[in-house]
Structure 1
Amino acid sequence: MEMGIRKPTTVTARPLMIISMKGHPGTGKSTLAHKLANLLSYPLIDKDDIKNSTYALQSHLPSHTLLNDMSYAAMWNVAATQLKLGLSVIVDAPLSRPEYFDKLAQVAEDSGARVAVVECRPRDWEEWRRRLERRGAEEGAVWHKPAKWEEIERLLDGYDGCYEYEVPGKVAKVVVDTTAPFSVDHIVDFILGNKDGGHLELPSI
């Protein structure tokens, strides 16, 4: 849960940035991504918005992995276009594998943008489970989104720990426990103010 948010009253020069969310389904990535996009006035590119439009293709392709990779590729292409126009962006995706981060870094390098990662990592797994299953009950089944905890368990087993990778280079990374109170302002201040990278955990342990 997030605490109060302040809207900037003046526009100051900011570095060109691509801010990527990271985290498993139901951890609050999209909610936080929308808060950040609203606060910073950055375009938000959601991989799920792209993948939602590929439903008609799922029965014609050999695996869902291909659809997922296509959705990532489209997201990176849209982000690259915005960066070339001089617009910082936020991308909302699980970023669950190192190769996805590698592509993020390449898109940033091609446009001369800085990279920041905001990872949603709930410490209270029972609360995470409640939120995930409540979302599933309220929104109904979405063909590519886990709606039950058993689906999350299978997903994590399939990852086999690959999502626990180190973020290299001069990257500002914030890890947020989204089941505890935190300040979105602190996230913004940290990622905008740390051009040489760094690591922040919220709330502080």
Structure 2
Amino acid sequence: MFFLQMSGVPGSGKSTLARALAKKTGAVVLDHDVVKSALLESDGAEFDTRVAGKMSYDIEWALVESFLAQGLSVILDSPCLYTVMVEKGTALAYKHQATYKYVECILEDIHEIDTRLQTRPALTSQNRQVTSKETFLAAFGTSQKPTHTQPLLVDSSRPLDSYLDKVLAYVQES
């Protein structure tokens, strides 16, 4: 059993990789954008996007804990931009005796990110384009890698098939 936290800017390939890993491992994928979009689209509810984001994480952490308690492997598909996210993830993995893993999708080409954002079917909560490189990088450009475990950095500018097996091996090692 493992708990994998995905990390990376919007459009970097986290969801694509998470879904491919889930198919290979049987893990449950919790997609932050699905939960946040559901909150934003709730009938009669009016959430500021920041409030919806925090509430989404609260829901996701409860689900991660529930699935790990059931002995299921879990992939949390979110930007994972804050140290507290890594701390919470490692604590839950430890509590439920799951192997903790952290994968960061890296895509340096801001034009490719923008193309991906504009061409994907977007959920309500998702960015649809890069309005300016500076604003985008200020909001998403600093992820917090865990210091006690070896994160796997993936160059997601390459085709998924060129790194999927490497990520799969990393996730499955104890």
TM-score (norm 2): 0.86
Change (3 A) 1:71 1:95: same
Give me the identity figure in percent. 26
Q: Which moved more, 1:89-98 or 1:147-156?
A: 147-156
Alignment correspondent of 1:150: 131
Q: Which runs of 5+ in 2 are unaligned?
A: none
Residue identity matched to 2:46: H
Residue 173 (str. 1) matches residue 151 (str. 2): yes
C-alpha deviation, 1:156, in angstroms: 2.7
Report matched runs for 1:61-140 at 5 Å: 61=47, 63-135=48-120, 139=121
C-alpha deviation, 1:68, in angstroms: 0.5
Q: Which has the higher contact order (CA 8 A, sep 6+)?
A: 2
The equivalent position to 1:33 in structure 2, one of 5, 10, 18, is: 18
C-alpha deviation, 1:57, in angstroms: 7.5
Q: Is 2:6–2:14's contact at 8 Å kept on the other side of the alignment?
A: yes
Structure 2 CA distance for aligned equivalents of residues 118 and 43 of structure 1: 16
* Larger-Rg structure: 1
The equivalent position to 2:166 in structure 1, one of 186, 189, 200, is: 186
SS at match of 1:149: coil
C-alpha deviation, 1:149, in angstroms: 1.1
C-alpha deviation, 1:157, in angstroms: 1.9
After TM superposition, the runs of 4+ consecutive aligned structure 1 residues lying more than 6 A away are: none
Cα RMSD, aligned residues only: 2.2
1:97-142 deviation per Cα after TM superposition (whole angstroms, max 9, x unaligned): 111111111211221212101111113332222222222xxx36x4
1:24-50 deviation per Cα after TM superposition (whole angstroms, max 9, x unaligned): 111111111000000111111111221
Residue identity matched to 1:144: S
Structure 2 CA distance for aligned equivalents of residues 35 and 84 of structure 1: 23
1:165-199 deviation per Cα after TM superposition (whole angstroms, max 9, x unaligned): 33122x24211111114221111112322x3xxxx
